[in-house]
Chains A and B, each alone.
Chain A
Amino acid sequence: MAAVATNSTLHRTLEFWQASIGKKTVMAVTGGILVGFTLVHMAGNLQIYLGADVLNHYGQLLKSNVAVLWGARLFLLASVCLHLTAAFQLWSLKAKARPVAYQKLAPTKSSYASRTMYVSGPILLFFIIYHLSHLTTGQTHPQFDEGDVYRNVVLGFRQPVAFAAYLIAMGCLGFHLIHGVWSAFQSLGINHPKYTPKIRNLATGLTALIVGGNLSIPVAVMLRLIGNDVQ
């Protein structure tokens, strides 16, 4: 009869995934992982202000252990995939749940960010692909030099089109995070009149930090505050 018990756990997991609450939990957890990554990623990138050597050394360090590198990459990829799948399924549920649209629908108190997650999300997806091809693999970079992270960043951001893309993407990231961070707590069942205002502040603070930190780099490049040593 042991099979029944195993079945039951598997069954419950599948059912949990089937339920929209399960998908939201997955989104919250994977979202949390991605926010964590984004934060670390930003912190790493901010080393650009310490000069080319520090940043390039950091880049080499990241790539030094292939197992860790690919482990992390696969972990992140899995998170993205789960986040995407859940989002896609929830989105398709939305269309099914209201087949006839309102002729007039006026939102009341909800935030613009919360209503546009299905817009900011896909933009971010395209941005990630672009970002990888831009600064990791270099296909969309005009003067890519594997190994010289500093130079790639500086030259990359000097392109007005790329600069604009990063600007827009960070805007979307801001919208996505300011709702997403709070929303993850809610999805995981954490909502309390005493702590929820603090969680909202945390979401705002985290968003400002990540968006501000990330944006500072292309802006600094454009304003020629950094990277003047690269020709």
Chain B
Amino acid sequence: MRITLNVWRQKNTNAAGAMKRYEVPNVSPDMSFLEMLDVLNEDLLEKKDADGPVTFEHDCREGICGSCGFMINGVAHGGHERTTVCQLHMRHFKDGDDVVLEPWRANAFPVLRDLMVDRAAFDRIIASGGYVSVSTGSAPDGNAIAIRKLDSDLAMDNAQCIGCGACVAACPNASASLFTSAKIAHLGHLPQGQPERLERAKKMVDQMNNELFGSCTNIGECEAVCPKGIRLESIAMMNRDYARASFMERPSTGEVGFG
């Protein structure tokens, strides 16, 4: 089949970008979407196209590393349930389809080139508190703490986040709430995460705000495009923990003092 692509081309972060049209003839329905782009890129290379091949991020191509992702016809990852771009196959398209490809758009995700954006803001959110502070060597036996299976499963549901950024891209507000809450909920459901739970929520949410992500207004587009099925329930948990961290936490004794 024949596919027409409208691809956002942008040389670097500061350059102006524009949509360009490309024809990809002979697309096999068994190709993955990225393989179709590979074919386009080989063609652009052979033709010595002035813009060069289309830059897009990808690595594992099995939907787990979170590298790939862009908007396909206005939907993050193309809109198939629990499917990243690399797992999307061309059999879902028809001969003659006109497809629009755009990078994730958010102030916190500057475009690096074409369809590739910089998601370092996500790392900084995790760095602000998305962990259990336990150094190597200081762990008790793995079975020392029994964990209710349900809690473990809920933690796992959230821990599955691949950090692809589709939630931010699909959110009309460009909010990173689903991403941030997934980590807060992952650790918040486990006993290991309790000692730092409120502090973690406070730090991570504050960092998220500092990164210029928008605010969640409970629209739910993030949940719909999340390739790992993270739910809005996690955002509610984050909201709860953040409010508690802001008002219910006792000041530390050092903070109160005895003056």
* Residue positions of A touching B, CB distance < 8 A: 1-2, 4-5, 8, 12-13, 15-16, 18-25, 90, 93-94, 96-111, 114-115, 117, 179, 182-183, 186-193, 196
Contact = CB atoms under 8 A, between A and B. Distances in A.
A94 B172 contact: yes
A93 B71 CA distance: 22
A5 B71 CA distance: 48
Given A20-B216, A190-B236, A97 B106 contact: yes
B225 interface: yes
Interface of B: 8, 19, 71, 73-75, 79, 100, 102, 105-108, 170, 172-175, 205-206, 209, 212-221, 223-225, 232-233, 235-243, 246-247, 251, 255-259
Contacts of B241: 189
B221 A107 contact: yes
A22 B246 contact: yes
Nearest to B106: A98
Contacts of A101: 105
Contacts of A179: 218
Contact of B215 (A8, A20, A196): A20
Contacts of A192: 233
Contacts of B236: 186, 189-191
Nearest to A108: B224
Nearest to A189: B240
Given A98-B173, A101-B105, A179-B218, 8 more contacts: A21-B242, A90-B217, A94-B172, A103-B8, A104-B71, A104-B102, A186-B236, A188-B239
B227 to A, nearest CB: 13
6 contacts: A12-B246, A97-B212, A103-B100, A105-B74, A188-B239, A188-B240
Contacts of B175: 20, 97
B167 to A, nearest CB: 12
Given A15-B246, A21-B239, A103-B100, A98 B256 contact: no
B232 A191 contact: yes
A94 B214 CA distance: 5
Nearest to A18: B209
Contacts of A97: 106-108, 173-175, 212-215
Nearest to A27: B217
B107 A98 contact: yes
B186 to A, nearest CB: 16
B107 A24 contact: no
B74 A104 contact: yes
A91 to B, nearest CB: 9
A94 B223 contact: no
B8 to A, nearest CB: 8
Given A4-B257, A8-B255, A97-B212, A104 B220 contact: no
